[in-house]
Amino acid sequence: MKIFIKKFFISILLFACNQNNNNWDLEDKKEFMKLCQMGIPNDLFSKDKQEEYCDCALNIYMQKYKNVEEADEAILGKNIKEIMNEIEPCVEQLQ
């Protein structure tokens, strides 16, 4: 699970750092979903579960942050425990 958390965190940072837009447009959402799913082990969770989890995480970040840049800044200022607390409601999507 620690490897998953690290991969997820890194994929969020990569996603956020590579964006130039000032809002959560369709391309931002697609890239988030792609990177999020890449961070989840395929051998542990089905594609459907991965998609549900990442969709949940995306919705949390979109509600909490007005754009990608704001999300990036906030995430960089948090430790892994704080990040996991934010997306904790999504963990049940993997079960």
* Interval 55-70 mean pLDDT: 91
Residue with tokens 């960089």: 76
pLDDT number for residue 6: 54
Split at pLDDT 50, 70, 90, the class of 72 is confident
- Three-state DSSP at 62 gives helix
Q: E-assigned strands of 1-95?
A: none
According to the model, what pLDDT value does residue 41 have?
86
Average pLDDT over the chain reads 81
Cα separation, 28 vs 32, whole angstroms:
6
How many other CB atoms sit within 10 Å of the CB of residue 54? Answer: 24
Residue 73 backbone class (left: φ over 0; alpha: ψ -120 to 50; beta: rest): alpha
User: To 5 degrees, how large is the angle CA 77–CA 36–CA 19?
Assistant: 60
pLDDT the model gives residue 93: 77
